[in-house]
Structure 1
Amino acid sequence: MNHLVENEKRAVSTIKSNPKFFYSYAKRLANSKSSVAPLKNKEGILTINAAEKAELLQAQYVNVLSNPADADMELCKSQVTETKNAELSNFAFTQEDIKKAIKEMDPHSAAPDGDIPCSEFY
């Protein structure tokens, strides 16, 4: 135990002159290992099984990413043109429209920059 205390004092005393030594010492003593927290499956049940968590993460990955080669470019171009020609005054959304749209969102998808709340609150 004395050896540990001596090493700790040495690391602290050299933090200004040799910060690399201090951080490598602290890293060696760190006990926390990063891992994936329990995940909910489609039934809403938490799982800690590594294989099942891997499958859930893979399914999420496939769900949120698309293959650009599969895109219908003509449809995309027409939608971009329609969007460019649209004016904000052409759209009318009620509170119910927004609630309905939020409920239709996948609760397991990543939130956009605006942090849309989970549909379970509506």
Structure 2
Amino acid sequence: MPVVRHTDARRTTTPNATMTTHASPTQGGSAQLAVWTVEMTPGAAGPPHTFDVEQVWTVLDGRARADVDDEHHDLGPGDVLVLPADSVRRVHAVDAFRAVVAAPAGARATPVDGEPVLPPWIA
């Protein structure tokens, strides 16, 4: 079984968060699943977007609000959010927020009114 060392994890920083890839086809450890950590500072919010696959978010620390289609979900440590494919979502960090996310590798994100992209933390 492959081991991906913490020191080898790939980090990608956007204006909204830092994603640390733990396993993915290009990172090692998995050919079909991507696993990464999302870290957000208080007040940060990702852009509204969709993914073409289901994602599972497990909150490790902090608090966030997830807007999913027309619903709002308050999240805290230990909560799990299952985001259906093609749902419009936006995550807002209420406090410093950290979650681990799992999704099929190669998933495409589509910004509202944008074109699909393959985020580097999923590749």
Bin the TM-score by the shorter chain: under 0.3
* TM-score (normalizing by structure 1): 0.21
Greater Rg over alpha carbons, structure? 1
Higher helix proportion:
1
Higher strand proportion:
2
* RCO higher in structure (CA 8 A, sep ≥6): 2
* TM-score (normalizing by structure 2): 0.21
